[in-house]
């Protein structure tokens, strides 16, 4: 909403950087944990989350405090090479880590099992919307699955491109050039 700004602090130096400018130190937070405190002297909510496949944190603050917090993080991290990056870099990193992006790789037509996210489904925790459908799908097997692929020739597979296998036709959900792997990669929803 327009009530919050978000600054993602990601990578192997994120915990050390935030420890120097955040009270209390968020370094002991478990993954998906959060705390309320101050970052660079401004009130903020800090969570140990992110979408890069790296350890990291997200700082939620008032929009009017975001620039000052951002600049302090950059100044504090400059000796270590901390630098800003945009959503394109985040998208490449999350794709390398096979982290599905809502609206690209998953939406309300893709189940957690099809997206290879069954680890987040807690069937033993009681009733929830869609529980019966997920239980039936788990028992019968998924009709399609989100899978990673690499291109064997030069090119980038883009969202919406057809993807064919011996089992039938699916669709590319994400694709880019992976700087880490040095080749084009992607995700596709394919029939099992």
pLDDT for 88 equals 87
The backbone torsions φ and ψ at residue 159, rounded to the nearest 5 degrees and listed phi first, read -50, 130
pTM of the model: 0.81
Q: What is the pLDDT along the chain (192 residues), one digit of tens a residue?
A: 899 999 999 999 999 999 999 999 999 999 999 999 999 999 999 999 988 888 999 999 999 999 999 999 999 999 999 999 988 888 999 999 999 999 999 999 999 999 999 999 999 999 999 999 999 999 999 999 999 999 999 999 999 999 999 999 999 999 999 999 999 999 999 999
For residue 24, the 8-state DSSP code is S
pLDDT for 117 equals 95
pLDDT for 135 equals 96
Task: Tell me the pLDDT tens digit for each residue of 68-107.
Answer: 999 999 999 999 999 999 888 889 999 999 999 999 999 9
Cα–Cα dist 99/102, whole Å? 10
The β-bridge partners of 170 are 163
pLDDT for 50 equals 86
Strands (E), the chain: 5-10, 22-23, 34-39, 42-47, 56-61, 144-150, 162-165, 168-178, 183-191
């Amino acid at each position: 909403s327009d009530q919050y700004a978000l600054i993602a602090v990601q990578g192997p130096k994120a915990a050390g950087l935030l420890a120097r400018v955040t009270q209390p130190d968020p370094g002991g937070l478990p993954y998906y944990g959060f705390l309320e405190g101050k970052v660079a002297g401004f009130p903020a909510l800090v969570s140990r989350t992110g979408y890069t496949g790296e350890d990291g944190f997200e700082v939620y603050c008032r929009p009017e405090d975001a620039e000052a917090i951002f600049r302090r993080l950059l100044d504090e991290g400059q000796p270590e090479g901390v630098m800003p990056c945009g959503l394109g870099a985040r998208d490449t990193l999350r794709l390398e880590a096979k982290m599905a992006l809502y609206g690209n790789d998953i939406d309300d037509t893709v189940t957690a099992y099809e997206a290879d996210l069954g680890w987040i489904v807690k069937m033993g925790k009681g009733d929830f919307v869609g529980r019966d459908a997920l239980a039936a799908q788990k028992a019968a097997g998924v009709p399609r699955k989100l899978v990673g692929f690499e291109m064997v020739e030069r090119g980038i597979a883009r969202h919406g491109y057809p993807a064919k296998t011996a089992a039938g036709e699916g669709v590319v959900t994400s694709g880019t050039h992976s700087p880490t792997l040095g080749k084009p990669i992607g995700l596709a929803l394919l029939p099992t």
